[in-house]
Chains A and B, each alone.
Chain A
Amino acid sequence: MTKSELIEKLAQKQTQLTYKDVEFAVKTLTEQMAQTLASGERIEIRGFGSFSLHYRPPRIGRNPKTGDAVSLSGKYVPHFKPGKELRERVNGSDS
């Protein structure tokens, strides 16, 4: 399912909203989520999961073309931990 298919599905169900509204709402939410992580903050959605940043320490990498060593500085990468409800539903074990 892509973002536009998600918009499509929500538009069919949220009949009080226009397609344009749903499209804007989905874009607003995904941008807010991305912006939150970009500012170093966590996201916690009960029943879905949480997003946080994991630190990757500085390391010496290599240019795969030339073999030259390049020093890479430390960085943060987004991490997702699925919540209980999502874990159970995806595994077909909700009982």
Chain B
Amino acid sequence: MALTKAEMAEKLFEELGLNKREAKDFVEAFFEEVRVALEAGEQVKLSGFGNFNLRSKKERPGRNPKTGEEIPITARRVVTFHPGQKLKARVEAYAGSGE
């Protein structure tokens, strides 16, 4: 089972006593602020978690995998995520636990 916004809102309800509506709105606002910053071309750094960076990609040749037809992949701006040291260490520890 993956973590979703619903479970995150549930957590805020349990930990802060926000009502369900407030908790749901808060989780939505949290991700929206991150999107707004990235949309404005700004890097987002969440300590203890990781950084969201922006990369500008130039146009490059591509192919329609179905038809084999050559079509250019247009220039675009993309988001990349770089986990922080702390998160990397915690996730690696999970690998050490056997699965």
Contact = CB atoms under 8 A, between A and B. Distances in A.
Contacts of B96: 73
A37 B49 CA distance: 10
A67 B48 CA distance: 32
A48 B3 CA distance: 13
User: Helix, strand, loop or mixed for chain B's interface?
Assistant: helix
Interface string A39-80: 111111111111101010000000000000000011111111
B12 A25 contact: yes
Contacts of B38: 86, 89-90
Size range of the interface on B?
35 or more
Contact of A91 (B43, B78, B95): B78
A52 to B, nearest CB: 8
Would you list the 10 A-B pairs with minimal beta carbon distance, nearest first?
A: A80-B81, A38-B90, A42-B2, A78-B83, A1-B37, A36-B3, A44-B2, A43-B3, A76-B95, A75-B95
Interface of B: 1-5, 8, 11-12, 15-16, 18, 22, 25-27, 29-31, 33-35, 37-39, 42-50, 52, 54, 76-81, 83, 86-88, 90-96, 99
Interface of A: 1-3, 6, 9-10, 13-14, 16-17, 21, 24-26, 28-34, 36-51, 53, 55, 73-80, 82, 85-87, 89-93
